[in-house]
Structure 1
């Protein structure tokens, strides 16, 4: 028996029984807190984008503010939104392939500094360079934000033992949604000040540059480089990671792209991302039709995103509990369970998008409730297709998610520009008819993409996940003696346990 393993992983209980060490808070959890705040700051930029563009083009405040109001139509506004998400899509793959291998601390610090500098310069960029210059600035901001997720995964792999990683990665990823929720009412409130939309950009810059200073001074890329981490915690993290070291595997790009289930996932991911981006960018303008002020609209918009976050966080643990405790997966194939969840969520989304154009102008609360129901159904649906990546691959699930995110982001970046072209600047009744076309277009896209998912998707592990691998998993237990055979060989090799005696 490995005495060192027992010494660090177990302790004597009061009744003489050996029990596992209790969970203790360490410096690594302070690092996780900073990562969560960093995600919230990036999410705040996304959440305030739709509000700031509406405030920038609000003709009702031409004589009520010190700042310049620009006469940009819906086509230009849609192009500005699309430039941000296009930059995000273009940078996702390079960030996964190259920046993820670099020092995560400095990459994220650079991303925060770039976003902060662009935000503080944005009023000058807009007033002097016009909408073309703003599109270029938003393109670079989107590229900077794309670095967050890959670097985040690399930092989590270095800082957290495997048994803590799933729980705290969920916490870190929720920071982006919380940032969106918090930034919406704040940006709506700031937009009614005398400095209006310019003050929103200055607030963004203050958050970004402050977080860049905190991140650069108080965090580290690994526990070994952090001066505040004690020797005991470093040893605990190091030994846990050594027992489950990730192997260096070559990603089978061609096999993944040829895989039918991959394209099923990509289509479903793209449909949900299109709805999410539409909510972020178009709803502030849509609610102007109801005569709602921008401040009240921004407060109302937080409820759909809260519904998305709540149902996403509640559904995934429930599905896992049903499979593990009630043994649902033994009676129902997991593929059918994923597809059933996906169909239920998709039906709710499509039904909501279909009835939205028929709601009358006098019922704004019913409209808000419908938007909340749509986002809640989409959060429920995430436990269908979004968790399907781990079913297909245990070694490349993160890469698989990144690849579907690239496809989803490219398609999602088209939605604001297309919506701007369809809606344009028409009279109130004409705008409602144009939005009816947009909603029907989104519902048709959602139906088509989810039909592709139902036809092509599966929960079976793919053959390319084990190609040219001696071991079944991309992780191995360093505590196992090298003389023992690997798990996959048990079914293929006749064991001779005394051959190394």
Structure 2
């Protein structure tokens, strides 16, 4: 009998930490950009600020310029060679550059920060394809929703702490540079832990219990030390289920990145919260999402394992709720007046919190469709869907010419609501939770 707590949980914890710190790197600039460009938010006059930077949304989108590039390669390479060292090397570079952003800003201006963020995006492009591949090797199908959710929901958790700490540090005498220094150090620590404790599969782990190894491999059908099935590119690109997954992921990412990059700005200019209060209130929606995600993952596994719903029906149900409920909250938010800050905060919490239901929807669907090519599917879908992460801040830059005007923000929120409802409908029609025929090579 496999142990209830085993080495698979240690591996999942490493992936959780990676996603947690990685999202901290992403969000530190979303909050920090306010302190970096507004001298009035810095209690210490010695902290440098750059009010001449008029291209803030372009700076925020720069991360995605690089993030899109390595995704497909990362998924394919993880399946072919293993994911451990790709993750260690790329995240080490990401962490070093993150640590150096304050001096880069001082010497090379906003263009230097853009280039740094693009390189960080390039490095972080390895995270989700590689982690999805590792999950497909370490997580039994019976535990897929709950353990997958632990990893994928680390994003909101890292967002919470990243927003809170960045706001706290930026509003202190230490100033915004120390937020970048903190995450640079945390990133290097994770790389050391992964080198010591991380392994590409149960077959390669020197100390794993035999019963746990059998439990994992028997559930997944992976018994070889390396499984190098040829990638069925034609079948993947012509699969309706993969396209439905891609559209769902794209719609969700458009919503997620619009809110993640713009909530601090919206709270600052429309609701007039100071930076310390801003960071706390901006992080509350992600705290709600993170807490809900665990119940969602447990409930989804229970429903599928007890055969209350088929895996396909369960994925479609959770995905629909995870996308349409935020859309309703955003529509209501778009009609919230400037003198209703409490209502705005509640609706933001509802929008981001209810989005947690998608962690048992499309988020784990890559492993449903093809356990053998899950990393490649994640690379394809996550990579190309992140184009929405580039578009989201630029859309706001185009629509919101006056950041204090609630009517301009209304247009943004209504556009986001329409996109995610459309994505939910497509997944209901064409999505699937079944293993596809092209998962195994033809004999």
TM-score by length of 2: 0.85
User: Residues 130-151 of structure 1, C-alpha deviation per residue, up to 9 Å, x if partnerless?
Assistant: 2111111001111111222333
Task: Work out which of the residue numbers 105, 109, 113 in structure 1 matches 2:88.
Answer: 109
CA contact (8 A) 1:86 1:409 kept: no
Are 2:277 and 1:296 equivalent residues in the alignment?
yes
User: Residues 80-119 of structure 1, C-alpha deviation per residue, up to 9 Å, x if partnerless?
Assistant: 1211123222121111122554464433332232122212
Are 2:439 and 1:469 equivalent residues in the alignment?
no
The secondary structure found in structure 2 opposite 1:248 is coil
Q: 98-107 or 368-377: which moved more? A: 98-107
1:44-55 matches, within 5 Å, as 44-55=24-35
Are 2:433 and 1:433 equivalent residues in the alignment?
no
Distance in 1, matches of 2:322 and 2:437, equals 29
1:318-329 matches, within 5 Å, as 318-325=299-306, 327-329=308-310
1:41-190 matches, within 5 Å, as 41-61=21-41, 64-72=44-52, 76-99=55-78, 101-102=80-81, 104-155=83-134, 168-190=147-169
The higher-RCO structure (CA 8 Å, 6+ apart) is 2
The secondary structure found in structure 1 opposite 2:378 is helix
CA contact (8 A) 2:101 2:180 kept: yes
Task: Work out which of the residue numbers 423, 429, 441 in structure 2 matches 1:449.
Answer: 423
The 1:446/1:176 distance shift into structure 2, 3 A limit, reads closer
Q: 77-86 or 95-104: which moved more? A: 95-104
> What's the offset of the Cα at 1:25?
4.9
1:13-412 matches, within 5 Å, as 20=1, 22-23=3-4, 25=6, 30=10, 32-61=12-41, 64-72=44-52, 76-99=55-78, 101-102=80-81, 104-155=83-134, 168-216=147-195, 230=207, 233=208, 244=221, 245=223, 247-289=227-269, 290-325=271-306, 327-329=308-310, 338-412=315-389
CA contact (8 A) 1:223 1:234 kept: no
Q: 154-163 or 393-402: which moved more? A: 154-163
Distance in 1, matches of 2:415 and 2:148, equals 35
User: Residues 198-219 of structure 1, C-alpha deviation per residue, up to 9 Å, x if partnerless?
Assistant: 1211222222233334444565
> What's the offset of the Cα at 1:271?
1.0
The 1:99/1:345 distance shift into structure 2, 3 A limit, reads closer
Distance in 2, matches of 1:321 and 1:221, equals 28
Structure having the higher Rg: 1
Distance in 2, matches of 1:411 and 1:462, equals 27
The 1:420/1:427 distance shift into structure 2, 3 A limit, reads closer
> What's the offset of the Cα at 1:391?
4.8
The 1:449/1:164 distance shift into structure 2, 3 A limit, reads closer
Distance in 2, matches of 1:221 and 1:181, equals 29
CA contact (8 A) 1:66 1:195 kept: no
The 1:203/1:22 distance shift into structure 2, 3 A limit, reads closer
Distance in 1, matches of 2:254 and 2:287, equals 18
CA contact (8 A) 1:350 1:446 kept: yes
> What's the offset of the Cα at 1:224?
8.4
The 1:450/1:394 distance shift into structure 2, 3 A limit, reads same
Are 2:392 and 1:415 equivalent residues in the alignment?
yes
CA contact (8 A) 2:20 2:157 kept: yes
CA contact (8 A) 1:66 1:194 kept: no
CA contact (8 A) 1:100 1:150 kept: no
> What's the offset of the Cα at 1:191?
0.4
Distance in 2, matches of 1:368 and 1:51, equals 17
Distance in 2, matches of 1:100 and 1:150, equals 10
Unaligned runs of 5+ in 2: none
Q: 340-349 or 287-296: which moved more? A: 340-349
**Count of aligned pairs:** 437
> What's the offset of the Cα at 1:160?
7.0
Query: For the aligned residues, what is the CA RMSD?
Result: 3.3
The secondary structure found in structure 1 opposite 2:68 is helix
